[in-house]
A = this chain, B = another copy of it.
């Protein structure tokens, strides 16, 4: 009987499982990580780790290619293989950094419970996935809402809300999967370091041309500008009204924040700084995709904004290719007399930076000003 049962199950396996992949990734106690790919027929296999240049891997006799990193600090990293020129996700690893253009595999080097993204035995919030038809963009699309642990639809006062925008080539899932936004907020709230708040994570494209261009050549001229404009329109006129109808959130701009990473950082600046009554708190992490005509993008921005803005927080990794643009907008805002925090950090254009950004930014939100 047992034998038959195992046979049936083995048949199911054979149909779905690749042939015995090796253990990969293997995280060693000292933080080194060994990556392996079983590919006896491949002529060359390289490891792409974060944004490092590809590193050739070494083949052993049975045909398993491997590479081992140096000791890595506790963090969540992304990587992939390039086998004979083909981008390959690690077939032995179910953990994935999903992306519309280039998904990667993901590996966590575990660390102390105090790290913002480590899952702890604390009350957990919930993530709600909403679907709607956008009249503005003309498609069926979605947004995600994080409600904090113990969310109470009758709480007084109503909850503040952070609109949190993803980067180019990611989608609305990014902040709550690779970004660990829910885990970070669960931890901060449990420690009393952030106010209980809702986080809304919409889809950040106002058209699909901007994205499709990345597959097949240059962008259609104007597609990004059109995308940002339509996205802003749909955020203000479709997403926010749904959120305020479905959830117990304040509709006061002083209890509303907008922040994002890369493309989403630029959108947060565009939408936030041009709607000071709607968003008193703005965060821009490693922003990119805007031009340098700041006066055209922010036509009415000046010292008078300081009366409404509670926080304008601009961060970028010092080794990010976008550090120059961010230094320039910092200087321009200073010139204009717009109060803000300029927060350069270690790091590149990566979620290893943005998880830390969120963990630093969220505690600043919705505090009373002196």
Chain A interface residues toward B at CB < 8 A:
1-2, 4-5, 8-9, 11-13, 15-18, 20-21, 23, 37-44, 51, 83-89, 91-92, 94, 96, 98-103, 119, 121, 124-133, 140, 168-169, 176, 182, 214-217, 224, 262, 288-293, 321-322, 325, 349
Contacts and interface: CB of A to CB of B under 8 A. Distances in A.
A107 to B, nearest CB: 15
A40 B85 CA distance: 8
A1 B133 contact: no
Number of copies: 2
A254 to B, nearest CB: 28
B262 A214 contact: no
A4 B328 CA distance: 13
Contact of A100 (B94, B101, B125, B129): B94
A91 B86 contact: yes
Contacts of A322: 8, 12
A17 B169 contact: yes
A126 B127 CA distance: 10
Contact of A288 (B9, B129, B140): B9
A106 to B, nearest CB: 13
A267 to B, nearest CB: 14
B2 A291 contact: yes
Task: State the majority secondary structure of interface residues on A.
Answer: loop
Contacts of A176: 129
Contact of A87 (B18, B87, B325): B18
Contact of A103 (B23, B96, B288, B293): B96
B18 A102 contact: yes
Given A20-B217, A216-B20, A291 B5 contact: yes
Q: Which 10 A-B pairs have the closest CB atoms?
A: A5-B291, A124-B131, A41-B84, A94-B100, A127-B129, A41-B85, A1-B293, A1-B291, A39-B86, A87-B91
12 contacts: A2-B291, A4-B291, A5-B290, A5-B292, A41-B84, A43-B84, A88-B88, A98-B98, A119-B140, A121-B133, A124-B131, A126-B130
Given A8-B325, A17-B102, A86 B37 contact: yes
A79 B285 CA distance: 37
Contacts of A8: 288-289, 321-322, 325
Contacts of A40: 85
A94 to B, nearest CB: 4
Contacts of A99: 16, 94
With a 10 A CB-CB cut-off, give which of A41, A42, A86, A322 has the most chain B CB atoms. A86
Given A91-B102, A292-B4, A349 B12 contact: yes
